[in-house]
Structures are given as structure tokens and as C-alpha cells.
Structure 1
Amino acid sequence: MFLCTKGFIMDMFSCFFVFILFHFWCFDSAQGQNTSHPNCTKEFQCGNLRNLSFPFYKSTELDCGLSKVYCEDTENPILELNGVKYQALEKADVFIRLKYTSLGELLKKNSCETFDKNFSIAISPSITYGLDPSLTLFKCNRSQKSRNEEFFNSSSYQSYNVCDGFILYYNISIHYYQVSEIPSSCSFIQLPLTSNSEAKSNGSGLFHLLTDEVILGWTVSDECNQCYYAGGRCQTDNTTNKFHCAYTFVLDAGNRKTKVIVTVAVFLGCCAGILILLLCFRKKTFWYKCLMFWESKTEDHRNIEAFLKNNGSYAPKRYTYSEVKEMTTRFKNKLGQGGFGNVYRGNLQNGKHVAVKVLNELKGSGEEFINEVASISRTSHVNIVSLVGFCFEGHKRALIYEFMPNGSLEKFIYEERSDGIRQLDWPILYQIALGIARGLEYLHRGCTTRILHFDIKPHNILLDEDFCPKISDFGLAKLCMKKESIVSMLGARGTIGYIAPEIVCRNLGGVSHKSDVYSYGMMVLEMVGGRKNVDVGVDRTSEIYFPHWLYRRIELDEELQLIGIMNEEEKECARKMVLASLWCIQTDPSSRPSMSKVVEMLEGNLDFLQIPPKPYLYSSSRTEVGSSEVELA
């Protein structure tokens, strides 16, 4: 034992000798080191916007984000987008209400200079902005008047023919168009549209339809988030117009003496850490008990143990960590991973296959772990995944589910496929949508305690060998009494692209089971289209935001032109899925159906399904011509 320990110590000292040489080389070669934004403020106060962080950055700091904000000596900060400065009035999570002061002055004077402005924001692979609501106007050369009128009059556009040099055409009910079809003498601009329904309906004139205030939403791409938090800068390649992550190097500010002190301090600290570890190994019994005693007294440990004790009748079987390692063959067969941790395939002693989710260290009081065990333990439904057991031992946490051979839904609706062929045919897609709806109906109405999921998305829908859907991942779930229609919630929860608007903008309505209905609708629309609801990679500008494109076709009673429809029965299934989903994504929660009604829509006669109103807010991604999931969802 002594020889092993002595050899181990010698090996470690050898490693740290190499570390010192490497550390000096890093200081003296390359003239710097990779940095994770050392001169950038991660979070800062900015007037009435309160706390801001990436993608926003202070105007006094250089290239620290994607959207510059001027916070100095003003209650209403100034936000700069594409070189245009806006006054920021208020912020609600992922939305900011903006005021374009100079535009407001022009609107008061009914000035034609208004139409030299343009709210359209260029598409970037790093960040997507949404400015809603907005009105698209076509600014056409007056010399081509006859040709322009031939096009726009046939499309029921209104005209504004007062300004010198150009004529404006617009239609507040049309949001989709093909850029290639617009006359070459015309260009389009976007300006904020008033939310005053009276001004829209009484035909009081173009200037009364416009306003100087607009709601800004934004979504940072996954690539940009990963780049930024790894120390890089989100940039666009000027040649390919694709995302590029750039890493910068900064000079060390200290002199050589400082470098030596820092290096020696790091070395001595590491040596001390190694000696403590060795002491723990040699005195394992005493130090191990001390460590476990300290850990058992942490707040999250106490909270979870208290929950398990108080809910023993609901909690499934508890496994030790050694049993988890045994059932997964020491975590040999990895099925996937996510922000929560990794998922492994395993086998119980009775031969039953399971999926074991090993959680990362928990945040706060271990709320997600408690939610998962508390929620699923209270359910028993064919469309809800079964929790077989769990492990809670020190800082080790794992959840053990029934195994789903076909994995999660997202791999069947987003993967590349040849033209005219879907990963899943329409009858199966329809049954999956219906099964998820029944599962949510059960969570909202069938349990003794109502369960709100708050994270319905394709990644959280698992499929068994018969493609029967199972709702999973209850880490963000909330339990409430059935009689409670509105629940209280601190902060937003969910996934960008599926979050209901009232969760991030509370003046739109209370948070309730209708928030799950919205997420369900956004997800089914992605199932229908076989793509993300916002897709900058499509060929036609009008199809960037898929729900708008679908709504337009439904509104005009046109063919949906969806991939893989082979007969009238499949056409009817697709149309019922689309209509039910468009009802589900209504901005006003009270306008959305309950999940019981959604099941009724899907199972009922298509002739009885009415066309819903057009949702007021758009998803926080972008408008059709460069604007978001605003991926409100």
C-alpha cells in the first residue's frame, strides 16, 4: 500500500512539474490565453429593464453580445438594433416593449418621411428577433402605377397615393407573399401596427393604423449560446452567411513576477488538494463519515428526504446507487444525453428493460427531482411514461423508467427524408397526436391532483414498439388542486418554441392548464410540417413561420400541400390536426380549448370544426420577412 501511494505521489508531482512548464509556456508564447469574456459584465442593471445579460451588452463594453444597450443616466434605456436606436419602455422576461421616438414625431404630422423608416430586421444565424405586431407595406415607384395597380388591385390591397414619388399598398389581413411575385418597381417595408381594433375596422386611414411602439422578442440560436458560454464570439461568415464561432486571445496584464506568483500559488493549492485526498484514502472511515455527515445536512438533501418521507405511499421503489450501476452494467449502453444528464439502457433482475436517467447535480432545492417523482408517481395512464423506481443516495440521483424502444418523437419528425416520403405516415402521426392529447387530458382532469406539465415538446414524447406515445420528463411540472384554474409561478419555465405567451408576459392572462394546451398545439404543428415552426432554411420567405403559412391556406380554403398525403382519409386527418392546433395556439388563454375539447376535435367530424381566429402574437422567432418562438412558445 505504501509503495502504491508513494508511486502515486511521484506520478502526480511529475504531472505538476509538466503543468508548471506548460503554464509558463502559455504566458510567454501566443502572448495570451483563450478567454471567456474577461472584460464583459455577465449581468448588469439597466434602468427600468432591471437585470440584463447576454445577448445584451453595455454600450461601454466592446463586442460583449449581440444587442447593444445604452444604460447611462436614463430611466428608459436605449436599445440599438441594426444601427437603429429605440427607447426601451419595459421588459417582461423575453419581451421588451420599444418606442421609436423619431417615428412617433413623423406619425403625428402624417409625414411621408414615415415611410423612409423600416422595422424589418435582417436575418442572422446567431439571433432571431420578432417585432409584433407589424404591417407590411409595399412602396412602389409612381411611374409604374398602372403595372402596380394591376397586381395589387387583384389581391385586394388598399393604396395610399398622397406622397410624391411613390405609392403605398397594404392589406392588414394578408401576412404572406412571395417576394418573387412582387413587381420589380416595389420594395417592402415593415412598420409597427396598432393594436387598436377600432382603428383597424373603421378604415380611418393608413397613419391611424401605425404606431411608434412595438413588442420585441428574441431567440438566441443553440450554436451561438454554446459558442458564447465556451468563451467565443457569435459571428456570421461574410462569405457563406453561416454561423461562425470566433475565439479571441487577450494579453495578461501582469508582469513576469506576478505570473510566477500565480503559477506557484496554483501549484501549491493543487498539491494541498492531493494531500487531502490521500489523507481521505488512508483515513477513509473517519473522513468519509465527516463528508457524508456534511453532505446530508445540505438544504437540497433535507428537502428531498422530507418529500420522500411524506409521500411514501406514492413514491416507487428506491434503489441504491450500486444497484443502478449493476442494472446499467456500469453505464455501458448510453441512449442519449441532455442538460439534465445522461440516459442509459438497463435491465432489472426480472429481465425487464428500463431507461435510467442519471441526473447532474441538482440546482436549488432539488425541485426537478421532486417534481418528477411526485408527478409520475401519481399517474397511471397508457399515454404517460411509467416511473419504475429512483435512486437518491448522497449527491447521486437517478430516475428509472420503462424502456421505450422507439425513443423520442423528435427523431421521427425532423430527420431528413426523400421528397414525398415521411418518417411516419399520416395515420400513425394522427394516432400519436390523439394519444398525447388523451395523456394531457388525463393529467389535467383524470388525476386526483391536477398536474401541469409545462414542457410539452417532441423531445419529451417517447414512443413504444407500437408507436404509442408516452408523455415524459416532469421536471418542470406543477401540482395543483383541480378547482384551481390559475396557478402562481415565479419566473418562466419551459422550452423556447413551445412556451405559452402568458408565462412570459403575464398581462396576457393567468398561467393555467391552458399553457400546456398552447405547447401541445405548437408541437402538433411541427409534426404536421415535419419541421421546426420557424425555419430560416426554407426556400420561400413566406414559409419561414409555418403556423402563419398554414393559417393563410386554411383561411383561403386552399390545399395544405403537406408531404406524404396519399388519400382523402389522410387529408382529413391532417386538416383536423392543423385546425385543432391553430385553436390551441390562440394568444388569449381563454380562447384555447381544454384538452378534452381537443380530443373531441380530433375524434369528431371535420365538417363541425370551425376556423379559429388568427393568433395575435407570433411565435418568438421571426416574422415571415425577417422578424419570433415573437418563440413565444
Structure 2
Amino acid sequence: MDAKLLPLTLIISLVLLAIPSCVCQNDMQYRLCSQPFRCGNIREIDYPFWGGNRPASCGIPDFKLNCQGDVLRLRIDSVSYRVLSIDYSMHTLKVARDDLWNNLCPRFLYNTTLKFPSFTFPLVPGDLPEMLPYKVFNCNMNQTNSCSFYLEPDNQATCNGTILVPVNRSALHLLTNLTATSTTLSRALEGGFSIQWWVDNDNCNLSKQSGGVCGYNQDSGSFSCYCTDRPHDLTCDGTRPGNGVCITTTGIVISSIIIFFIRKQHRLRKLDKESNQNINKFLLTHGSLAPKRYNYREIKKITKSFKEKLGQVGYGIVYKGELPDGQLVAVKVLTETDKNGEEFINEVASISGTSHVNIVNLLGFCYERKKRALVYEYMPNRSLDKFIYSSGSLSSDAYLEWEKLLLGRQISSSFSLNVEAENSAEGWETGYV
């Protein structure tokens, strides 16, 4: 990848990462509450009800439903009801007393009371049948057999204990029949009765029309509209106060990143311009005698991606390389590049200005900001210190003939003179002989 495209690629990646993460954090309620749940033969259970895979934020607290097997239950105060059907168009539930399901003799006697204003009994038009006659049935409670009966609430009969249970109109007609039995009563109770719920449906309708999902804010105890970006008060319209907080925050972050990279690129271009001026000045001064300038990509190609390491010296690592014309070279890649570009170019000029028949020549250099390297002639017999020392101690084979010792002394003398003259030791650590 082109290094110039890297900042732009990074910015695009941050945009793609920042926006989805913001949306994911804020639309979790939208995704959870947009999925109705099913229990038994009752499907599409939605707002204002919650339970199952719908968390409490998807419905009103009084409307919690509990699904056990195929039975859907609703608890109102201390009484549990089986939910037989839900009619969203009429906002009604058909429920039956759970404690009276297949049981005419409950252990505890509770009246059927509803929690106003969430639930009420619907007004049923029409005339009710005549007063129910006494209907007696046996009931065994606490191992005591008692005589029980059912009748209308207005009947003046005296009972030790009573409960009030509504039944639907068709079941009521059957109970007035003289042939009715306890089985008729059981069927009437299991047939259930209707209750009506009340919520502010206008808010929910507005939320759905704007593409939102109805929910409940548990902190404020009020209606909440869940949208794909974040929760809103009523609708998903962009004109509502507070919209776009997530997007605005993301925009600020992205803008800050873009400004940072623009300023960084401007600063780097300024440094590159100054360095190029120094390098051009150096190349013009030395003319054809100046070492060749390589870019970092060429250095990698010469060393075959730094495949063969020759050794490690101060401030760098030396690799074996090969130029396009087949000449072998030793490439010293600098690892500590705290010096500025001007100092590095001065050192290159100092090294290239030193010439001796017994000192390896500097063939080229690389300077790309922090990436810097020196290209020398390759000497196959390694360096003098590698020949003398082995594993940190004087080698047993470390002897030289008098001619080589004199040559070494001559090199050393020239070495010292040049170092003193140029006041720089950079590059001499690769003195191969």
C-alpha cells in the first residue's frame, strides 16, 4: 500500500468503525423490542406487554407476561390469570382464573379485582339473563367436605366464604339452565372473561408511523420511542430536540482525527522539503562523486527484505545485499535515528569524502524520514574484530603475518587521522578488511 494512502485509509476505517459502534450501542433496545414473542397459540405479543425475549424496557411494568410451556400467564395483584387470547384492535384480553382452572375448590378465596387504570372490565351492552338459581356442588377443602353453590352476587344467601368471578355472556346463559351441573360451572370458569387494558396508544401510534418501536423508559417512568439511532421521547423525527447526539459526537471525533492527520502530513511535508533541500545541496556539491541515493523500497529489494544478516554494530544492523548489476554490498540499516536529517547528510558527506585503498567505499545511502541506511562495498572476509575475537575472547587462530600486521597498522593510522579530521566515527564500524 502506498504510504501516502495510509492516513486516508485509516480515517475511512475509523469512520466505518465509529458509526456502527455508535448505532449498535444505541439501537439495542430497538432490535430487542421490535421482535414480538410467542407463547403457545398466541403470537405476535407486542407492546404494552413484555416478557419472554422482550426485556422490561419493551413494555409497561403492569403488563408483564410469563410463558410456561404453552400457557401464558398474567398476574394482577395476588391473582394469576391464564391469558387465552389478545385482541389488539379492541385492547382486550380474554383471561381465566388460574386457581379455578379445572378446580372448583380453591384453597384460598380471592375476589376477581383488577388494577385500575391499567385494567378494567369492559362495558357489555345488552340485557343480562334472569337471576341464577341455586346450584349446589360438593367441595372438599382441607379434608372437609362442604356444600357449595354458585349464584348471583345480589342474592341474599348467607355463606361462610365467597369469591366473585366473572363469566362471559354465553356461559352465563348455560348456567341459568336448570340442567346445569358442576361441569357446566367448570367450563364457564375455564372459558374465561374479557378485561380491557388502557395505555396511551396515541404515542405508540406516532412512534410506529415514524419508524420507531414502542417502549418504556424505566428511569423516567414514561413512554419511549426506540429508533435505529437511539431512544427518543415520542418519534424518530430528526426535528425532535436531542436528535443526532451520537452522530454529532462521532462527527466531532472523526473531524478531530482528520485535522490531526492533516496537520501531521503538513509537518512531515515541511520536514521532507527541508531534508530534500539538504540532500540536493549535498548531491550538487559532490557531483558525480556523490554516493547514490536509494529509496527504502530499493533497500528492501537489494537485501531481499533483509534476509541475510551479517552482523550487528553500533546504531545499526548490517545485511548482505546485491545491486541490480550483480555487485554484492553490505547494507547498514540504522536503528537509532534520533539525529535530524541535516546531521545524517553531513555524516554521509564525511564518510563519502574519506578515500583509502584499504577502506571500504560508501556506494550509496537511503534517507526517508526515520528510515536510513548506508550501502558499502561487500568484503567477504568479514571485519577485523570478528577475525581477532571469537565468542568474546581472543581466538586461538587470531594471528596475522607481519605484512598484514603492518597493513593493519597503516589502516589504523589512516583511520585515526580521518576520524580526527572529520570528527565523526559513523560508518567506521563496518571496516571490513
What TM-score comes out, normalization by structure 1 length?
0.25
What TM-score comes out, normalization by structure 2 length?
0.35
Of structures 1 and 2, the one with the larger relative CO (CA 8 A, separation 6+) is 1
* Higher-Rg member (1/2): 2
